[in-house]
Amino acid sequence: MGEAVLGAFLPVLLEKLADQEITEYFGRLKGVDKKVLEKWTRTLTAIEAVLSDAEEKQLTQRAVKEWLDDLRDLAYDVQDVLDIFDTKMLKRRIEKKQGSKSKLWSSLSKVKSNFGLNSAIKKISDRLEEISTREKQFGLKKLGVSKKPWKMPPTTYQLDGPVIGRNEAKAKILYDLLSKQENYHVVGIVGTGGLGKKTLAKHVFNDAATDQFSPKGWVSVSDDFDIVRVAAAVLESVTSAPVQEFKELNSILEKLSKELASKKFLIVLDDVWDTCSYGQWTTLQASFRVGAAGSKIIVTTRDANVAKMMGDSSPYNLKPMSEDDCWKLFQHHALLNNRPEDVELLKEKIVEKCDGLPLAARTLGGLLRCKRLDEWEDILDHKTWTLSDSEQNKMEDILPALKLSYHYLPSTLKRCFSYCGILPNDYEFEEMQIILWWMAEGLIPQQPKEHKQINGRFGT
């Protein structure tokens, strides 16, 4: 998804290139063409105009994708040069305050520093010219960018939306939870990504029938099975308390055993991958054996062998949703009650795109709910839907509906979303925490009044 970030990154870069202070500082550099900054701005502005078409064509044309990769690398190098300018301007302001004390050192280092900077600027100019020349070979069109302000779509009362078409699956899982009375028993839910394993597990976990279990805990495992982290997460989940004082695995497992001893517990280990080895699982499950008869562990995974390794010889294989259920889920998230009857004409195509996946139905409904009907057809006919399996693999196994939901985000939101890619899988953060990170990176334009309000709130 890295190439798509350009659509959000270039406007920020162009805004910085237009900064008056940077322009003035750039003009004082010896040995640099004074019009270089204007050339950069002019070339990048022309590229920005055809970027949407390039992002479309890179799905099917390898040369365009390689061009976008080179453009992205170049854009980051331009950003690095501008960051150097920022640092130099900050240093200059500090030197003014310090007076003559720092002037000697400044004059000695300036020649060497400027030589390296001039060289970097020359290389960027050459690469930008080469990239601009290559762009003309692709016949890219100026598709334009919507200037309409983004508005928050209407909300519903449901936090996660309704659970549709999973009553039979829920009944089967509940039966397995409540009927088998071994010391502890693993119940596996197996299915591909986007099939609704997590939603089904939540549906069961929150059912009144599971109130007989105590304690109840939920742990997101993900693709990195670090046994110390997972054990600590299980302990925190069943105690609702941090375990910072326990850093060694033995201490964590000992504490966990005491918490679960003689209790009929229910623990969900969500999204377990094959990175969980049999040895790790054997070590972890030792703490589960001390629970009361009837204790259960729900495991959600994409790999049936993982569920079997963890103890469920016949895990529940979650099936795709029926076409009717997919349409009902889509209707809910697309708010079809407020749509014209013509929407029904697109029903067959929409259901086909969802492919029985609740995540696709939910994502596509959320994407289309804010669009006009003519835009629906453009989205449903997008090239992303027709990519071959090999091309999908290149896209890191991202569902087409998810890819499209990102593609149609406003550019200001794209970069905020992409920033989250630096966080580990299943990393939990507070809303204000991520907002402050976005602000620190300059991703959110900030007005003076807003700055004052946030500073006051956090006491800075």
The pLDDT score that the predictor gives to residue 11 is 75
- Banded model confidence at residue 379, pLDDT cuts 50, 70, 90: confident
pLDDT in tens, 35-82: 788 888 888 888 887 777 777 777 677 888 888 888 888 888 888 888
Evaluate if residue 146 carries a pLDDT over 50: no
The pLDDT score that the predictor gives to residue 152 is 40
- Banded model confidence at residue 439, pLDDT cuts 50, 70, 90: confident
- Banded model confidence at residue 1, pLDDT cuts 50, 70, 90: very low
Instruction: Answer with the residue of higher pLDDT: 342 or 307.
Output: 307
DSSP 316: E
Sequence-separated (6 or more) residues with CB below 8 Å from residue 231:
249, 252, 253, 256, 284, 287
Find the mean pLDDT for residues 239-260. 85
Please say whether the beta carbons of 216 and 267 come within 8 A: yes
Evaluate if residue 173 carries a pLDDT over 90: yes
Token readout for 257 is 């055993």
The pLDDT score that the predictor gives to residue 308 is 95
- Banded model confidence at residue 137, pLDDT cuts 50, 70, 90: confident
- For the ranges 21-25, 243-247, 284-288, the maximum mean pLDDT occurs at 284-288
How far is it, in rounded angstroms, from Cα 184 to Cα 175? 15
Find the mean pLDDT for residues 150-160. 39
Interior/surface letters 189-223, b for 16+ CB within 10 angstroms, e for the rest:
bbbeebbbbbbbbbbbbeeeebeebebbbbbbbbe
Identify residue 372 by its one-letter amino acid code: R
Evaluate if residue 216 carries a pLDDT over 90: yes
| Percentage above 90 pLDDT, the chain | 25
The pLDDT score that the predictor gives to residue 301 is 94
The pLDDT score that the predictor gives to residue 316 is 94
Position of tokens 């928050």? 152
Long-range contacts of 161-165 (CB under 8 A, 24+ apart): 161/329, 161/332, 161/333, 161/362, 162/329, 162/332, 163/199, 163/200, 163/203, 164/321, 164/325, 164/328, 164/329, 164/332, 164/358, 165/321, 165/322, 165/324, 165/325, 165/326, 165/328, 165/329
Please say whether the beta carbons of 217 and 268 come within 8 A: yes
DSSP 276: S
Find the mean pLDDT for residues 408-412. 66
CATH 3.40.50.300 for domain 167-317, yes or no, is yes
Instruction: Answer with the residue of higher pLDDT: 28 or 456.
Output: 28
